Structure 1
Amino acid sequence: MSSHRRPFRLLVLPAASALLALAGCAPGDSEARVEPPPAPPAEVAKLCAALHGELPRTVAGLGRAATEPASDLTAAWGGSAIVLRCGIPKPPAMADPQQDGVEVNGVGWLVQRTPDGGLVFTTTSRLAYTEVRIDKEHATDAQMLVGLSAAVEKTVPTGISSY
């Protein structure tokens, strides 16, 4: 073997390692601190676990992030840019007929704006309430609910949650 190839091989390994390290810094690959909701009833937790398994890998172009603590009741994309919590208690705002709502792919969502300019969407008329919090920077992309609605439609039946 000629000696001029050895230095090349030695440079390839550090370069590959650097690329892998940079890939680990890509949006969506980070970790998000997401507090799971209080322990929901077993039937709600089962629906949330099914939803967790169907959630998309990306939302609004952001990759799925690991959540801490890990839970079938939580998910995140782009670090904590978009955070989902399934199995939350019924939000008091659901009783207010003046609240805004939207329907996306057969799933109704209560829409609330946060004080910092973000959005909170909460499913309506489903056997498990699911909340999606979106930071201010990403609150302009209405398409983000498309993939999430498809997962909810597939796994959480319509009905009124008693929780």
Structure 2
Amino acid sequence: MSLHRRPLRLLAMPTAMAVAALAGCTPGGSQARVDPPPTPPADVAGLCAALHGELPETVAGLARTPTAPESDLTAAWGGSAIVLRCGIPKPPEMTDPEQDGVQVDDVSWLLQKTGDGGFRFITGMRVAYTEVLVDEEHATDAGMLVGLSAAIARTVPEGISSY
């Protein structure tokens, strides 16, 4: 994955992936249904728990929403408008040297346009992979990744995840 070396290309992600991660969610709801990723190794789960405790209470002006099932691997803001899953398995896109990304506060992000107009962001060069799904309405807020990047930089060390 290269960062800032080529023009940003957005790749389509099957809508089914976004739907599976957000099944049963409605923006602004009192609880977001977020399926945790498969159980990661203990060291990755520990990093995700540390991240969970450092995540901001608001992202893009949206308040943090409880998730169901409750998990240190997941978080949401504004119902399902912004959803985070930590400890996801290595995405196949990370092995493609043609992928472009962005860097926000020392955190590298791969980004993809989803089939529903939103975006999928995945951290790179961190010991635990973290995915953030953003709905179309909030995808235009470039500052959205700032608070999340700060929390990730504090809790998830740089490196290559073996998971």
Under a length normalisation based on structure 1, what TM-score does the superposition of the two structures give?
0.82
Q: How many residues align?
A: 137
The answer to whether 1:87 aligns with 2:87 is yes
Once the two structures are TM-superposed, the CA of residue 117 in structure 1 deviates from its matched residue by 0.9
Identical pairs, percent: 74
Contact 2:29 2:80 (8 Å CA) reproduced: no
Contact 1:28 1:64 (8 Å CA) reproduced: no
Contact 2:37 2:86 (8 Å CA) reproduced: yes
List runs of 5+ in structure 2 lacking aligned partners. 1-26
List runs of 5+ in structure 1 lacking aligned partners. 1-26
Contact 2:75 2:83 (8 Å CA) reproduced: yes
Contact 1:28 1:63 (8 Å CA) reproduced: no
Give the RMSD, CA atoms, in angstroms: 1.1
Once the two structures are TM-superposed, the CA of residue 98 in structure 1 deviates from its matched residue by 2.2
Contact 1:86 1:129 (8 Å CA) reproduced: yes
Q: Give the number of the structure whose alpha-carbon radius of gyration is greater.
A: 1
| Superposition map of 1:11-160 within 5 A | 30-160=30-160
Ranked by relative contact order (alpha carbons within 8 Å, sequence separation 6 or more), the top structure is 2
Distance (Å, rounded) in 1 between the aligned partners of 2:152 and 2:29: 23
SS of the equivalent of 1:161 reads coil
Distance (Å, rounded) in 1 between the aligned partners of 2:138 and 2:100: 19
Distance (Å, rounded) in 2 between the aligned partners of 1:31 and 1:76: 9
SS of the equivalent of 2:98 reads coil
Distance (Å, rounded) in 1 between the aligned partners of 2:59 and 2:28: 9
1:73-116 alpha-carbon deviations (Å, 9 max, x no partner): 00000000000000000000111122220000000000111011
Structure 1 segments of 4 or more deviating over 6 A?
A: none
SS of the equivalent of 1:111 reads strand
SS of the equivalent of 2:150 reads helix
Distance (Å, rounded) in 2 between the aligned partners of 1:119 and 1:96: 19
Distance (Å, rounded) in 2 between the aligned partners of 1:121 and 1:81: 14
1:46-78 alpha-carbon deviations (Å, 9 max, x no partner): 000000000000000000000000000000000
Distance (Å, rounded) in 2 between the aligned partners of 1:113 and 1:94: 16
Distance (Å, rounded) in 2 between the aligned partners of 1:141 and 1:97: 27
